Structure 1
Amino acid sequence: MNKGSGLVTTVPEGPVESVVERVRAVVASAGCHVSGCADRTETAVRVGPRLPPTVLVLFGNPTVGTPLMTDRRTAGIGPPSGTPVREDGQGTARPPYDSAARLAGPSRCRSSRCGLS
């Protein structure tokens, strides 16, 4: 975990492709919907710099997201829920995710209706 940031980085073993499949399975088993994957490496090629293998897995849970967006309509502005599965340069993928404390932060939800406070 990056101290104070609320961002947790896991250290699963394997290349990006296999870790993406594991992340998709974990997200689905938690009752969330995987809405897509975006290959950021491929996108970066179009603008020049080389980016190590990176795939953004996008997901959500209407049971959580609906009350969140009802409480604060601007909650939908910004990045969607997801995690970038990125290679660390040694062939190991490291997908970070937000801790519960970070999700419940002041910019996300102001009431207990969100189920995060």
Structure 2
Amino acid sequence: MNANNGIISQSSPYSVTETIDRLEAILQAKGITIFARIDQRAEAKKVGLSLCPTQLLLFGNPEAGTPLMVAEPTIALDLPLKVLAWEAADGKVWLSYNDPDYLKQRFSLIDELVKNIAVIKPLINQALQ
């Protein structure tokens, strides 16, 4: 696990698509809403550009996220939560997301509210097993 500028990146043993598929299935099983899945490689291809496989998943739970936005409205810039699966030039696949501790510091959140978004870490670990 690597933290850099508030971003955690973990290597995935799966392809970009399978990595996002696995995480999406776990989130759905937990009743977490999937708001969007964006295949950025496909979008780049539509305009004649090439990009390594890259997919962004936006997800969340309004019951958990709303109290965060009540406490600090600008956190809505980082909510819903986002996870990026991407393939590096060397073919290695990574899963990257905002570190909940970084968001805590960035928005001066209390520990009780950070718990609402800290659930991302174990869910990602589960998807990468």
Q: Give the shorter-chain TM-score range.
A: 0.7 to 0.9
- Consecutive unaligned residues of structure 2, counting only runs of 5 or more, are 116-129
- Size of the aligned set, in residue pairs, is 115
- Corresponding residue for residue 101 of structure 1: 101
- Corresponding residue for residue 21 of structure 1: 21
- Corresponding residue for residue 51 of structure 2: 51
Normalized against structure 2, the TM-score is what?
0.71
* Aligned partners of 1:71 and 1:111 also within 8 Å: no
Write the letter of the residue equivalent to 1:94. Answer: W
| Shift in Å, 1:27 | 2.8
Write the letter of the residue equivalent to 1:62. Answer: P
- Consecutive unaligned residues of structure 1, counting only runs of 5 or more, are none
Greater percentage in helix: 2
**1:84-95 → structure 2 map (5 Å cutoff):** 84-95=84-95
| Shift in Å, 1:61 | 1.7
Q: Percent identity?
A: 25
What's the secondary structure of 1:51's corresponding residue? coil
Normalized against structure 1, the TM-score is what?
0.77
Q: Deviations over 1:5-31 (max 9, x none)?
A: 232211121211111111212333555
- Report the aligned-residue RMSD: 2.6
